[in-house]
Homo-oligomer: A and B are copies of this chain.
Amino acid sequence: MPKTVRIAMLGSGFVAGFYMQGLANVNGQEVVVNFSLDKKRAKKFAATWNIPEHTTNLAKLIERDDIDLYIIALPNDAHMPVSVLLSQAGRNQVCTKPLARTPEEAGRMLKAAVESDKLHGYAETEVFAPAVVKARQTIESGGIGKVLWVRSRESHSGPHSAHFWDIERTGGGAMNDLACHCIEAARYFHGKENAIVEVMAWGDTLVHSKKTKGEDNALLVLKFSSGGIAHCEMSWTCKGGLDLRNEIHGSEGSIFTDVTRGTPISSFVSQPAGYVVEKADIDFGWTRPLPEEAFTYGYQAEMRHFVECVRDGVEPRETYVDGYAVNCVLDAGYQSMASKRWVKVKY
């Protein structure tokens, strides 16, 4: 049996919990330590997930040489500093989305990671979601001909943690937070060799203007070098639970993915009967519970992929190169939102 991959989980919040759920079904790994800023949270997280050690001392944790993989599950503003430290120490690392708040930060992370000559993985769930992977396979098999138009939508009624509303800490509003997924999905479906060349965006703060300076609704249009397009719909004001859909229209067919409402279970319950789905907004009456979110959203598959890459010494299919590209596209999107014109992009 091959060596067990030993993991350090950095962060103890929402996404860290999802990573643990994903890892629970990945063979050949062990999360050996958790880092959290706050001692109590670290302790609680370790207890919940049965992690032997926890710490609040990041510097020391990075120094250790018995850790095969560090997973950055921290707020956006912490990605760059922590990542650069890991690179300098020559550690394998995976960072959650978005890679950084700006192309400049993302560029620094990428440069340091490349120089470290270690593994760097960009944890973009969307392109690991089983439904999305199946869609890509269908495209590769020629089922829908040439991809012409991708629609990618990600919406919910607003983020769960305070830092998301502070655009200084985060880098932007709903577009920054959610378009990462859509952009990467669009690149995955159109093919990465087919570069995004120009973007057009609209965004506005239609509901949450008291809570944030960021836009709470945004539309981002991507033009690819093939002539095809993608449009991304992002919202922090939509009720009824996380809405995460893609449509891929090709010259010979179309594919539709809908992981939160195309579920294998639907029910009418007269009283609340347990968790339904991320940000559900209602838990009785008619609902479509999602049985295993960590699996369906792609957390399990991305974690499995990164663990196997570490073990087998191969490059992940999503790296900081991709995270950097996404930050460049987002940046062009914000320029377009301001100028009301199409903006060229290069990454």
Contact = CB atoms under 8 A, between A and B. Distances in A.
Interface of A: 1, 4, 23-30, 130-131, 133-135, 137-138, 141-145, 148-149, 151, 155, 200, 202, 204, 206-207, 217, 219, 221, 223, 227-229, 231, 233, 235, 237-240, 243, 249, 251-259, 262-274, 281-282, 284-289, 291-292, 295-296, 300, 304, 340-342
Nearest to A135: B265
A259 B269 contact: no
B4 A30 contact: no
A284 to B, nearest CB: 7
A243 B268 CA distance: 12
A263 B262 contact: yes
Contacts of A143: 267, 269-274, 284
A254 B156 CA distance: 11
Given A25-B304, A200-B202, A251-B207, A239 B134 contact: no
Instruction: Report how many copies the assembly holds.
Output: 4
A215 to B, nearest CB: 12
A104 to B, nearest CB: 27
Nearest to A22: B25
24 contacts: A25-B25, A130-B264, A130-B295, A131-B291, A134-B289, A138-B269, A138-B274, A143-B274, A144-B267, A144-B268, A148-B237, A200-B340, A206-B228, A207-B251, A219-B231, A238-B249, A239-B254, A256-B265, A256-B266, A257-B264, A262-B265, A263-B264, A286-B286, A340-B342
B291 A268 contact: no
Nearest to A248: B267
Given A144-B268, A148-B207, 12 more contacts: A25-B27, A130-B291, A143-B272, A144-B269, A144-B270, A149-B217, A202-B221, A217-B229, A255-B265, A255-B268, A256-B266, A286-B288
